[in-house]
Amino acid sequence: MFNLLGSISWSTVFFLLLMLSICSAFIILIPKVPVNYVHVHIGIIALSPIVAFMALVFNNENVIIGPWHFDSLSWLWSTFVLTIGLIVQRYSVHYLLGDRSYRKYFALLTATTVVDSLAWLSDDLRLLLIGWGLTLLGLTLLIGLRKEWKVARHASKTSGRYFVISWVILLVAIVWIEQVTGHWQLSQVLRQDSLSQFNAWEKTGINLLLLVSTIIPAAQWPFQRWLLDSVVAPTPISAIMHAGIVNAGSMMLTRFAPLFDGNSVQVVLLVLSSVSVLVGTGIMLVQVDYKRQLVGSTIAQMGFMLIECALGAYLAAITHAVLHGLFKSTLFLQAGSAAGQHEPITYKVQPSSYVWMMIGGILGLLLGVAFWLTSPTEGYQLVSALILGWSVVLAWIQLIAFGTGHIGRITGIILFIGAATVFQMVHITFERLLQNALPVGIQQSISMGILLLVILLVASVMGTWFIRKNSKISLTIYLWLIRLGEPKRNLVESHPQYLTQLLSRGGNVH
């Protein structure tokens, strides 16, 4: 009873603050309101993520109140989405000052993050569908914010078409679920008696629909075009995409996890995500445009996130989505600093370095094996062990083996221990916060992990062999990746011609 009252109190305050944020967004749109009001607006929207974070820390029980589902996962996601929205809006106060769409930008960004957080707080599938649809609509409008620029209009139309397809597919899946179970509440749908009503083909069909509706907003191959085209939008908009929009696939699949358990669609997801990892990495490596490099990296990282979902590692997927969202948003907001010239870093390998490199290799091997032996029959544990071992080796080589003298290596060891400590603290924190909100007992067998490793290793070996042979196949792959990452003709303009047209008419550019 105490937990229920606590959840009602936190949720009431949270909803009131979200309504206040929306009201503030409408006030910004009033022309008579001074532009400086945006500073007041920033203070108002800062309140809701604070309350969401406090609810996450002090009252993270699993409680369903009406059409809303309050647990640590929903509070964490709301905190994450609204915090990135706050950071991006604070950054944009001066970054976009003078832009003709300045007021509209803040209003749209506030509305998009609010409905995004509400979508994943809902237990009613109809509310989830409406909230997610409004989120995609808001992102589409943000991408086409500079509607006078035909390049932005084309990018917005491309994204809109992809999002409409994704939303309609999700609509079909949700209606199908209701027809089978007779419930709109997700908590009721995922009960064992409701799940038993699905026969094999219905479950597979619904899972395929959910899969497609998930990988389109996640910009997975072959639906990555919309994210590549969206780089024409202002950089803060590229940053806000990582606030529970591009990376919302982890939430979708986590919420529907019991429906996915043991279904063959997970193999399809594993294969498509693995291909996306390779394609995204390839685009990142061949592109010279910094924002397109970041987009290629996002495609690959979202692939890894969905691989984690396919292997049943939902804790890893949620952690990955949140940390990657914070990290990649920061990189986008710092995109301007990439214009500086940097000299390549060269390492002079000393005889003693080889000894330290061997020590790092042995340490990585031992830690990887020890980690795998904790759960040797789970598919994701094998993948995690290899990633952990390889990461330890790389970190050891960069920080310690290539250190200059005793001081350099001592500093490297301190940094290595510090990084390992932070990693462990983050892992423990997320595990404790989400232990009661994530599906349990859903782990894929070792065969799924082996399948993933075979796909990635074969592709890596073949790619390396083609490159070293300098064959026509390697050249073809290279050109294909270049073409895949390059914009279409209607998304290229040497100079924004709408500015010239405005000046010729004597209009105000801003």
Q: How far is CA 250 from CA 257, 274, 438, in A?
A: 10, 16, 11
CB distance 410 to 52 below 8 Å: no
How far apart (Å, rounded) are the C-alpha atoms in residues 193 and 202? 15
Task: Say how far apart CA 235 and CA 145 lie, in whole Å.
Answer: 12
Q: Locate 261 and state its tokens.
A: 């358990």
Question: Is there a cis peptide before residue 344, judged by omega within 30 degrees of 0?
Answer: no
Beta bridge partners of 68: 65, 122
d(C-alpha 246, C-alpha 298), whole Å: 9
Write down the pLDDT at residue 469. 60
In the numeric block, which tokens belong to residue 220?
């997975």
Residue the block writes with tokens 């065969």 = 447
Do residues 71 and 4 lie in contact, with contact meaning Cβ atoms separated by under 8 Å?
A: no
Separation CA 118–CA 296 (nearest Å) = 29
CB 297 within 8 A of CB 279: no
User: Which two structure tokens, joined as six digits, stand for 396?
Assistant: 């050891």
Confidence of residue 1 (pLDDT cuts 50, 70, 90): very low
- With CA atoms as reference, report the closest residue to 140 among 225, 247, 241, 24: 241
Instruction: Kindly tell me the number of DSSP H helices and DSSP E strands found in the chain.
Output: 23, 2
Nearest to 441 by CA among 371, 377, 370: 377
Name every residue whose Cβ is closer than 8 Å to that of residue 420 and which is 6 or more positions away in sequence. Answer: none
pLDDT tens-digit series, residues 456-489: 666 666 666 666 666 677 777 777 777 777 777 6
CA 427-429-433 angle, to 5 degrees, is 120
Q: Using the structure block, give the residue that is written with the tokens 């026509």.
A: 472
Q: How confident is the model at residue 507 (pLDDT cuts 50, 70, 90)?
A: very low
Q: What is the pLDDT of residues 64-106, one digit of tens each?
A: 888 888 888 888 989 999 999 999 999 888 888 777 888 888 9
Report the Cα–Cα distance between both ends of the chain, in Å, rounded.
56
**Cis omega before residue 222 (within 30°)?**
yes
Q: How far apart are CA 426 and CA 432, in angstroms?
A: 10
Distance, CA of 385 to CA of 393 (rounded, Å)? 12
Q: Higher pLDDT residue, 298 or 387?
A: 298
In this predicted structure, what is the pLDDT of residue 167? 94
- For position 408, what pLDDT does the model report? 72
**Domain ranges across the chain:** 1-143, 351-438
Q: What is the pLDDT of residue 146?
A: 78
Beta partners for 124?
185
Neighbours of 430 (CB within 10 A): 20
Q: Which of 33-37, 189-193, 365-369 comes out lowest in average pLDDT? A: 365-369
Helix, strand or coil for residue 145? coil
Q: What is the Cα–Cα distance from 56 to 325, expressed in whole angstroms?
A: 19
User: Using one digit for the tens of pLDDT, what is the confidence trace for 301-344?
Assistant: 898 888 888 888 888 888 888 888 888 888 888 766 555 545 55
How large is the average pLDDT for residues 25-47?
A: 90
DSSP-derived secondary structure letter, 65:
E
Give start and end residues of each alpha helix (H) in 124-189: 125-143, 150-181, 186-189
What pLDDT, in 10s, does the model give residues 159-175? 899 999 999 999 999 99
Q: Identify residue 281 by its one-letter amino acid code.
A: T
SS3 (DSSP) at 140: helix
Please tell me the predicted confidence (pLDDT) of residue 46: 92
For the residues of 327-395, what is the DSSP string, one character each?
A: HHHHHHHTGGGGGS--PPP-----HHHHHHHHHHHHHHHHHHHHHHHTSTTBHHHHHHHHHHHHHHHHH
Q: Residue 23 — very low, low, confident or very high, per pLDDT cuts 50/70/90?
A: very high
Amino acid at 181: T
What is the predicted pLDDT for the residue at 216?
92
pLDDT on residue 199: 86
- Percent with pLDDT over 70 in the chain: 77
The pTM for the full model equals 0.83
